Amino acid sequence: MPDLAQPAYEPRGGAKGWARGQGTGYPDVYPQYGKLTFKVDVITPVGEGALRLAFEKLKVELGAQGYFRPERKRPIPEYVRCVGLITSETGVVYRDFSRGLGNRGIKLYFYDARVEGANAIESIVTAVQWFNQNTSDVEALVIARGGGSLEQLQPFNSIEVAKAIYGSRIPVMTAIGHETDVTIADLVADVRASVPMDAGKRLGAAWEKAEERIGAIEHNISAAFRSRCRDFSSRLAHYSESLVSSYAKQLSQNRQIIAAHRQSLLRCFRDIFAKVQTVEQTFNYNFQRFANALSRRRRGIASFERALGRAADRPAARLASRLADLEADFVDSGTRFDRYLHSLQDDLSDSDLQISQRGARWYRALGKRLADREAMLAAHDPRHKLKQGYSIVKDKSGNVLRSTRTDAVSDIINVELYDGRLGAKVENIS
């Protein structure tokens, strides 16, 4: 029977359209008007019509098996680092996809697969299986091809490709045909893009936004850093002035403390000297008393001798007794004088020991206080801050710069570092 050119039909499944088909029937003549008609008993779709019926049938079967369930679809990672692309190397799909993906450092694996013809189904299935079995870093698979007729897109309406996409452990994105073309592979895939360039843009969109965010963050960090640097420079200048003032104040206080200790030491030495003078005066006084007593004893002896000469007739016993008493008095006076001398020596030794002990304690206390003051002064030494990496910036007059409003472009500034000074010229003020 001859083919009927594009009769209208509505296939099972509800999709309306035009298709080619072949039919069987018989001719009939209406005698009243002389009109010839052909009555069709059976119409069988062929070509695109048959493919549409097969598409709707497979769609119903896979839908019943849960291939299209939204809850089983997996999202593509937001920041994809490695992508596998399945398409033909002879078309422009690779170029369009790469252009949409952009130069954002995303690693791309390319698998050259047949996307049309007799071996296309096997080639696509093999490509999906290869990525699942041989790669561990691929985070998304993209199956793509350019536009075409329903017959040309037929490999993507096959159950084999649908099962391969359904069983893939890697999330799958499809970009097949034009935006109006919908295939079984699109329905099974986790994500569908309209065209290959759209697929690339979707995968790189998060990175593009990240670049914008990074730029904004970088600007904010730079602005915050400059603000902190200005604030720190102002605080450092303030601390420098405070440190110098504190250093001068501490130095003045230490000088006053040293002067007070010197006065205390002088008073202590005066007291010691006064005691030594007192001891010396007492010694001289007692020595004079002893000399006077000895002189008196000598005069007494002389008087006694004269009296003895005058009284020669006195008994010898009385003379001997008198001499013995005088000798005993002399020995007793000498013993008491010796004890007095020992006592004076003991007092001098005790005074000397006390002076030594008090002087040692004072010197130790003075040394400790001086060491504490030196440690405090060393802790506030500006050179320690310079050694940590900070610097002091001064203008050509030697004044510390606290703000960018105090200098101008082309001015010469001096930068004081830990190990020297640098001369610099202001090129820019921000």
- Taking the CA atoms of 393, 396, 397 and 403 in sequence, report the sign of the dihedral they define: negative
- The string of pLDDT tens digits covering residues 250-304 is 888 888 888 888 888 878 878 887 887 888 788 888 888 878 888 888 888 888 7
Please check whether residue 246 is in contact with residue 385, taking contact to mean a CB–CB distance below 8 angstroms. Answer: no
* Residue 80 near residue 139 (C-beta atoms within 8 A): yes
pLDDT at 335: 85
Q: What angle do CA 243, 245, 250 make, to 5 degrees?
A: 90
Residue 212: the pLDDT is: 72
- Residue-level pLDDT at 31: 73
pLDDT of residue 355: 84
> Who's near 255: CB < 8 A, 6+ residues apart?
none
For position 140, what pLDDT does the model report? 93
Both tokens of residue 119? 């071996």
Q: Distances from the Cα of 380 to the Cαs of 240, 374, 418, in angstroms?
A: 9, 10, 15
pLDDT of residue 139: 93
Fold of the 53-194 domain: Rossmann fold (3.40.50)
Q: What is the pLDDT of residue 46?
A: 45
Of the candidates 124, 154, 148, 125, which has an alpha carbon nearest to the alpha carbon of residue 55?
154
The low-confidence residues of the chain, meaning pLDDT below 70, are 1-26, 29-30, 33-34, 38-49, 211, 308-317, 319, 405-410, 430
The structural domains of the chain, with segments of one domain joined by +, span: 3-46, 53-194, 241-380, 383-430
What residues are paired with 87 via a beta bridge? 112
